[in-house]
Amino acid sequence: MLGDSLSAAYGLRVEQGWVALLQKRLESQGYGYRVVNASVSGETSDGGLQRLPRALDLHKPAIVILELGANDALRGLPLNRTQANLQRMVRQAKRTGAQVVLLGMRIPPNYGPKYTAQFHNMYRDLAKAEKLRLVPFFLEQVALRDDLMQPDGLHPNGTAQPILLDTLWPELRPVLGKNK
């Protein structure tokens, strides 16, 4: 798992986060995977691109779940750079034999309709070009619900974490293969 604060359990105990819940679900369903959470709060695609080669070498993952780009957009970074970084990460992971699942994001409309739409479409376009499983908007079920968000309005709370896992599961399940 390579992501930002949404996957690093920001504001929560690590065991409350959706990534820890993923490990529990995999174990309970008989999958022999070990989940490594290489997510860092505040991470951008630049940082992920720098950290990924070491993580791939160290952990040799069968599957890489990639959840980055939101912090790039919140900083107003050029989308072509973000997309290029994400594509390079996808290709690096695929070269090691890992399958990639991409978690897409949306951003608030205050960046303008063109940038907002281009940002959202960036994930779809990358998934299509690289033949990836895609969750179009990872926060789809929680983003507009105050009862599922922390007071900052950006990060899902503990109650939202199982919902995030359920949002990912339909796209992750097909790449898991048979229960080991």
> Could you give the residue numbers annotated as active site?
5, 152, 155
Residue 134, SS3 per DSSP: strand
For residue 28 the two structure tokens come to 């309970």
Among candidates 176, 138, 139, 143, which has minimal Cα distance to 62? Answer: 176
* Beta strands 2-3 and 63-67, pairing class: parallel
Q: How far is CA 118 from CA 52, 74, 92, 133, 134, in A?
A: 25, 14, 24, 19, 16
Task: Tell me which amino acid residue 95 is.
Answer: R
Task: Tell me which amino acid residue 168 is.
Answer: L
Query: For 37, which DSSP code?
Result: -
- The crossing angle, in degrees rounded to 10, of helices 18-28 and 161-176 is 50
Residue located via tokens 């819940």? 21
